[in-house]
Amino acid sequence: MNDADVSKQIQQMVRFIRQEAEEKANEISVSAEEEFNIEKLQLVEAEKKKIRQEYERKEKQVDVRKKIEYSMQLNASRIKVLQAQDDLVDTMKEAAAKELLNVSHHEHGIIDSIIHHHHGGYKKLLHDLIVQSLLRLKEPCVLLRCRKHDVHLVEHVLEAVKEEYAEKANVHQPEIIVDEIHLPPAPSHHNMHGPSCSGGVVLASRDGKIVCENTLDARLEVVFRKKLPEIRKCLFGQVTA
């Protein structure tokens, strides 16, 4: 084999190697391009997924925030309704308390007339309240406290009270001591925030350990608490807590 043949064969081998190299390079390039595209697609999908998750998270946050705001507004509305109901009930109670003043109202100038000629009304109510208190206490000696304004009426009914209690309880007539300390006067414009009493009596055992508060204000409070569910049902159509 001469030099020309050798040179030719070498060139063929070089071309073959170059061709193989180019084909391999193309394969690597195509493979790299495919891998790049796959990886790029995966990265894009991962980012899309992350964005969707972030959007869903924020959407849930917005939804939760809306629910919280709605719940707060609903609770605020309920509180306003309940407050309005309580205000109405309090207004009724205040009106009832004012009516009590009409029950116990009498003028100093006509006390004698009331004592001698009036057998009903507030004097009869005082009589019944004292008897009821005595029956609850069942004490042979009691201390009675009333408003200064009512002392004359109380003293006038005491004998009848003792007789009725003794008959009902089948005991001796009790000793009733009218306390020199009086219950507060009726509420007035001059005494808006001070202690007041619309009428009635407070009886206690002589040692002060047992007390029966039978004032008109106390009885109104008891009746109002007892009848509150019925009052609310009548006013608002249902019983509310």
Token pair listed for 218: 């106390």
Look up the CATH number of domain 121-231: 3.30.2320.30
Q: Quick one: DSSP state of residue 237?
A: S
| Residue 16: half-sphere exposure toward Cβ, Cα within 13 Å | 6
Residue type, 232: R
- Give all strands of the β-sheet with 200-205 in edge-to-edge order: 175-178, 141-145, 200-205, 211-215
Whether the model clears a pTM of 0.95, i.e. scores above it, the answer is no
Q: List, in order, residues 6 or more apart from 123 with CB less than 8 Å away.
A: 114, 115, 153, 156, 157
Q: Tell me the C-alpha to C-alpha distance, in Å, between residue 101 and each of 98, 188, 189, 191.
A: 5, 10, 13, 14
Residue type, 165: Y
* Residue 124 pLDDT class (50, 70, 90 cuts): very high
pLDDT value for 61: 92
* Residue 1 pLDDT class (50, 70, 90 cuts): low
How buried is 89 (Cβ within 10 angstroms: 0-12 exposed, 13-18 middle, 19+ buried)?
middle
* Residue 120 pLDDT class (50, 70, 90 cuts): low
CB 173 within 8 A of CB 230: no
Count the Cβ atoms, other than its own, within 10 Å of residue 100: 20
* Residue 72 pLDDT class (50, 70, 90 cuts): very high
Domain-by-domain residue ranges, the chain? 1-106, 121-231
Task: Give pLDDT tens digits for 16-26.
Answer: 888 888 888 88
Q: Quick one: DSSP state of residue 206?
A: T
